[in-house]
Amino acid sequence: MERIVLDSHTHCGLTVPFEEISAEWRSGDIHGGVVFPPVEEIYDRYDPNFTDSEEYQSDRKAVHRYLLRIANQGENIYPYFFVWNDFVSPPDGFVGIKWHRHAGEPVYAYGTPGCERLIGQICEKRLPVVLEEELHNTLEFVRSIAGRTIVIVPHMGALNGGYFRLKETGIFDNPAVWVDTALAGYAEIEDFAHNFGSDRIMFGSDYPFGVPSHEKAKLLRLFSGNELSALLAGNLLRLLGRNSPED
């Protein structure tokens, strides 16, 4: 039986159409994966004082409709809802959350009623959260979630303060904290597997910033057998409550 491969970290939307990622997946023998909107369709990352605008509100609605549409047209497509400061509740059909900003970018309104309400809804629905934030916000977010849902640190933490800095905080000892391998180095992937096991690691590419086949090749080099199958798809399917065709 062919080993199923699913990419847990891709950007897809009106500026990065699904046809692009699907072609990359086919060339790399990848059968689908997670899609969330490109940042530029959610907020202006180059304006630290950005609040919101009707244009961006419209863009957010449009890209989320687009993801639901492509998810309904094919198998193995898992749309994640990108949260911004309007703190809109994810519509039915979204199976995860993207929560994203970098240093110098507009900040989330943490601690506000809208933010707290939405976090409560996310946890109630047990939607996994791909959290890309500064180090202090990452630690506080995980603390506030308190195991109520899974938090996925992308890139093995490279953009959340760095893998080894995060490791020193003890965050990876928390069984509710997972990672994806998008654009991560061999050393970080091997260290996590050695110290924390491989059942919380998921293959990701960060397309269009990473090449799916290249990112997949890292795991083919490092792992084999059932462990490889888990990283390439099994862990993601378990996270989302799906059965693997290989079971």
Domains of the chain: 18-239 (3.20.20.140)
pLDDT of residue 2: 73
Question: Residue 245 pLDDT > 80, yes or no?
Answer: no
- Interval 159-209: pLDDT, tens: 999 999 999 999 999 999 999 999 999 999 999 999 999 999 999 999 999
- Interval 67-106: pLDDT, tens: 999 999 888 999 999 999 999 999 999 999 999 999 999 9
Question: Residue 246 pLDDT > 60, yes or no?
Answer: no
pLDDT of residue 74: 82
- Interval 199-237: pLDDT, tens: 999 999 999 999 999 999 999 999 999 999 999 999 999
pLDDT of residue 244: 63
Interval 15-42 mean pLDDT: 97
3-class secondary structure per residue, the chain: CCCCCCECCEECCCCCCHHHHHHHHHHCCCCCEEEECCHHHCCCCCCCCCCCCHHHHHHHHHHHHHHHHHHHHCCCEEEEEECCCCCCCCCCCCCEEEEECCCCCCCCCCCCHHHHHHHHHHHHCCCCEEEECCHHHHHHHHHHHCCCCCEEEHHHHCCCCCHHHHHHHCHHHCCCEEEECCCCCHHHHHHHHHHHCCCCEECCCCECCCCHHHHHHHHHHHCCHHHHHHHHHHHHHHHCCCCCCCC
Model confidence at 51, pLDDT cuts 50, 70, 90, reads confident
Model confidence at 61, pLDDT cuts 50, 70, 90, reads very high
